[in-house]
Amino acid sequence: MRLYEQRSGQPMRHIWHNEPSKPDVSCYLNGDRMDLEIAHIYGSETEAMLILGREANIRTLEALHRLTEVPLGERLLAALNAVLASKAGKHYDSERVWLVIRNANPLWSAEELRACRERITLPGQHPFEQIWVIGDMAGESGILQLYPADSPSKHPPAPRQ
């Protein structure tokens, strides 16, 4: 929400976290209530386990080793497209929902997301008014609007602090 406020200049205020059947978070944008569904992308289930602090056993390490054979950009694209497809099939008890996808893989940033933008598959039907991707967990590399389509040149990456 803070990143969107900085980028757009429009105030967005958090209200509360929701129960299932509602999106994850409710807030006010310019005084109007809206909901946010939050998702995360990782390079793989194995990387997610490590990023989330799960212990690495021999199977985890072997899976990580096999991942080195898959180009990083392909893993990013596959992870993002999988989340988009999964969330598109859901129904939310809300009139106005934005999907916010946080990149949790430290090897990727908004720059890599912009580079594969033309290959991102947005489902034809989905419940979202807008779809955004945060380039990294801290939001330092910027945010990217996927839906409705945003002009890449309109919003440069966020400045590093």
Per-residue pLDDT of the chain (161 residues; tens, 9 = 90+): 778 888 888 877 766 666 677 888 999 998 899 999 999 888 777 777 777 677 766 765 666 566 677 787 788 888 899 889 989 999 998 999 999 999 988 888 999 999 999 999 999 999 999 999 999 989 999 999 999 986 443 343 433 33
Distance CA 97, CA 22 (A): 9
Please, are residues 37 and 98 in contact by the beta-carbon 8 Å criterion? yes
Q: Is 35 exposed, middle or buried (0-12, 13-18, 19+ CB in 10 A)?
A: buried
Please, are residues 142 and 158 in contact by the beta-carbon 8 Å criterion? yes
Q: What is the pLDDT of residue 111?
A: 93
Distance CA 134, CA 143 (A): 4
Q: What is the pLDDT of residue 150?
A: 61
Q: What is the pLDDT of residue 8?
A: 86
Phi and psi dihedrals of 138, rounded to 5? -90, -10
pTM: 0.74
Q: What is the pLDDT of residue 79?
A: 85
Q: What is the pLDDT of residue 65?
A: 66
Q: What is the pLDDT of residue 160?
A: 34
Q: What is the pLDDT of residue 132?
A: 97
